[in-house]
Amino acid sequence: MNKSVIVNKSCALKGNIEVSGAKNSILPIICASLLTDDVVELSNVPDLNDVHVLIGILEDLGKRSMFEKDKLTLYPTDELNINIPIFISETASKIRYSILILGALLAKGHEVSLPLPGGCSFSERPIDIHLEGLRKLGATIEEHPNKIIAKSDRLKGAHIKLRFPSVGATENLVIASTLAQGVTIIENAAREPEIEDLINFLNSLGAKIEIEEPGKIKIIGVESLIKKQSIKHKIIPDRIEAATFIILGAIAAEDFITIKKMNVTHNLAFLNLLQKIGVKFEIINNSTLKVYKSTNLIGTKIETDIYPSIATDIQPLLAVLLTQAKGESTIIDSIYPSRFQYIKYLNLMGANIQYLDSSEGIKIIGETKLYGHKVLSTDLRGGAAVLLAGILAENTTIIENSYQIFRGYSDLENKLLGLNVRLGNSSDKILQMI
């Protein structure tokens, strides 16, 4: 689905928009479901391409599933023979989170051959922290140019200190050590809300996992996770999607729009930053926020960091907001220092953004008028940035490579149309693919 999206200037948005379940929660939770042979019923599941790809990989492994509306039911796996090596298909290389299948299958004592994972291509994304941790748990891992071959008998609990609090590596090691013999301690672990969601899910399966203090996770390995009852779990709201809609309201609401089904607590640092920039919003309750059309924005210095600081995934969207602010802004991305491919396309639309270097990030000269242009969705959030810019820009913007955007935003077309975003070539046209 490598098609283009057409979007027209739409600066009179109004109404409500609902946030879906978090992409970065559902992906590890689907992988973790490989640990149980109980029926798993997940709700608030976003309908995303990456979710479908991952379900497909699990189906190759014998897990049946049913995905209807926002409910995903995963049924027990037909018994996998642990003496037969498992070859994960090339499909897995399309999404980075296929790497978490490794932790789950090693936990169950399998020998696995996995193609190297893909995902958003905005930066080099190594997996050394994952592999080092799995080795500490007793796995034998061979690294080949395009694949990994890994095996283990029962993994053994270990004390692991991560050299960086990687989200994916923390999730992989939590999943892997759930069934390990003995206790595992993960220090310098990631603290993102999605980690807590995964832990809550695993505990509902019968795991014994505790966040002892922020950044320190204790896992007491259990023999198995069979409870002989179906497990229900609701995925937390997507905080990056919520942030995207808040910025959308600030730049393009007629008066205000209302964001529903979010979790305000997960976006606190972002909301504090918006206040500093001059965005006007009102927190109605923890799941509902009204954001007003905001003018008189002030140029600001931003640096992304691990949770609870400003997420790297939000910085391309903030860059669009800051093209409208008075004065100069800078954004440094300390998680992915070169995640700025999208600025080329914002500049084509009239923005004035300069890449300095990986330690100084980008400089944005504000108060620029944006104009529709043919642009490229360089990656998921870079694509969302040019989409926001297209909504703000004069005339029409055509976004190529748009499948990238749909990797992270569930039901986006209907949500935007519900706010009066003018998509396609005529008023009654849905998000038009050309």
CB neighbourhood size of 289 (10 A) = 24
- 125 makes contact with ligand EPU (CB under 6 A): yes
Q: Which of 108, 151, 381, 415 binds ligand EPU (CB under 6 A)?
A: 381
Query: 3-state SS of 32-94?
Result: HHHHCCCCEEEECCCCCHHHHHHHHHHHHCCEEEEEECCEEEEEEECCCCCCCCEECCHHHHH
Query: Could you give the 3-state DSSP secondary structure of residue 141?
Result: strand
CB-wise, 133 or 390, nearer to ligand EPU? 133
Q: Which of 94, 130, 151, 290 binds ligand EPU (CB under 6 A)?
A: 130
Q: How far apart are CA 189 and CA 167, in angstroms?
A: 8
Candidates 31-39, 55-63, 163-171, 396-404; binding stretch for ligand EPU (CB under 6 A): 163-171
**Exactly one of 114, 120, 235, 416 is catalytic; which is it?**
120
Which one-letter DSSP state was computed for residue 195?
H
- 27 makes contact with ligand EPU (CB under 6 A): yes
Residue with tokens 């990994």: 148
For 3, 19, 57, 273, 288, the CA distances from 284, given in Å and listed in that order, are: 38, 15, 41, 18, 5
CB-wise, 168 or 221, nearer to ligand EPU? 168
Q: Which of 90, 140, 159, 164 binds ligand EPU (CB under 6 A)?
A: 164
Q: Which of 217, 235, 335, 419 binds ligand EPU (CB under 6 A)?
A: 335
- 386 makes contact with ligand EPU (CB under 6 A): no
CB-wise, 13 or 321, nearer to ligand EPU? 321
CB-wise, 187 or 394, nearer to ligand EPU? 187
Altogether, the residues listed in the chain come to a count of 434
H-type alpha helices, 215-295:
239-252, 268-277
- 255 makes contact with ligand EPU (CB under 6 A): no
Does the annotation count 31 as an active-site position? no
Q: Which of 30, 127, 317, 346 binds ligand EPU (CB under 6 A)?
A: 127
CB of 79 to ligand EPU, least distance (A): 29
How many binding residues for ligand EPU (CB under 6 A)? 26
CB-wise, 169 or 247, nearer to ligand EPU? 169
CB-wise, 237 or 408, nearer to ligand EPU? 408
Region of residue 333 (left: phi > 0; alpha: psi -120 to 50; beta: else): beta
Q: What is the CA radius of gyration of the chain?
A: 22
Sign of the C-alpha dihedral computed for residues 352, 356, 362 and 364 taken in this order: negative
Query: 3-state SS of 232-249?
Result: EEECCECHHHHHHHHHHH
Task: Give the footprint of ligand EPU on this chain (CB under 6 A).
Answer: 23-24, 27, 96-97, 120, 125-130, 164, 166-169, 240, 311-313, 335-336, 380-381, 408
- Active-site residues, by number, are 120
